[in-house]
Amino acid sequence: MTQPLATVRLDLEPLRSAHAELLVEPFMDDRVWTYLPHLRPANREAVRTRLARWLAPPPPEMPEALGFENWVGFERATRSIVGTFQATIMHAGSATIGYIVFPDHWRRGYAVEAMTAVCAHLREAHAIRRIVADMDRRNEASVAVARRLGLVEVAAANADDRAFAWPASR
């Protein structure tokens, strides 16, 4: 079960179905999908469907995955929604991570702050020994976040992506 996490400025609440209505509008912002336009939800119902999928166990086509952990980040001082933060925990003691920070909160260090807490949680609660993040190669902000998290660039499976991992080799 996903645990709440806290940082200096953020409260990371485990994703619940009750968060769906709060997340619809931010997820519909085109700026969120600049580097991943194919993932942009087509409508409000598509956002709800995506969030429901995040709450479900991994599907049969992902046999390597043990489970998903998803958080909604709130700025503690204002209770403003900052973004969503994810981890897919794998059978092999590894995890993949990802996040979406909503545009009103870009360039404030929230991605690094939240994902530092997520990575520490993964190591402590799940004994994760390897963390991997994939991103569009043009997304320099996410590349900077990966580096600030201590991840090192490794070979990507897709030519359009960049991959980062901790530790760098296995």
Report the pLDDT value the prediction gives residue 1, as an integer from 0 to 100: 77
Report the pLDDT value the prediction gives residue 83, as an integer from 0 to 100: 98
Report the pLDDT value the prediction gives residue 110, as an integer from 0 to 100: 98
Backbone angles phi, psi at 123, to 5 degrees: -65, -40
Backbone angles phi, psi at 72, to 5 degrees: -110, 125
Strand partners, 27: none
> Can you tell me the mean pLDDT for 144-162?
92
Report the pLDDT value the prediction gives residue 111, as an integer from 0 to 100: 98
On average, the pLDDT of the chain sits at: 95
Q: Where are the domains positioned within the chain? A: 5-131
pLDDT in tens, 64-85: 999 999 999 999 999 999 999 9
Would you state the CATH architecture of domain 5-131? 3-Layer(aba) Sandwich (3.40)
DSSP track, 104-164: GGTTSSHHHHHHHHHHHHHHHHH---EEEEEEETT-HHHHHHHHHTT-EEE--SSTTEEEE
Give the pLDDT band (50/70/90) at residue 92.
Answer: confident
Q: What is the distance of C-alpha 129 from the center of its chain?
A: 18
**Cβ-based neighbours of 87, under 8 Å, separated by 6 or more:** 68, 69, 70, 95, 96, 97, 98, 118, 122
Residue type for 57, please?
P
Instruction: For residue 4, say if its preceding peptide bond is cis, omega within 30 degrees of 0.
Output: no
Give the pLDDT band (50/70/90) at residue 169.
Answer: low
Q: Would you say residue 170 has pLDDT above 70? A: no
Give the pLDDT band (50/70/90) at residue 160.
Answer: confident
83-92, 131-140, 161-170: segment of lowest average pLDDT: 161-170
User: What is the 3-class SS of 14-61, one letter each residue?
Assistant: ECCHHHHHHHHHHHCCHHHHCCCHHHCCCCHHHHHHHHHHHHCCCCCC
Percent of the chain whose predicted confidence (pLDDT) is above 90: 94
Q: What is the DSSP letter of 103?
A: G
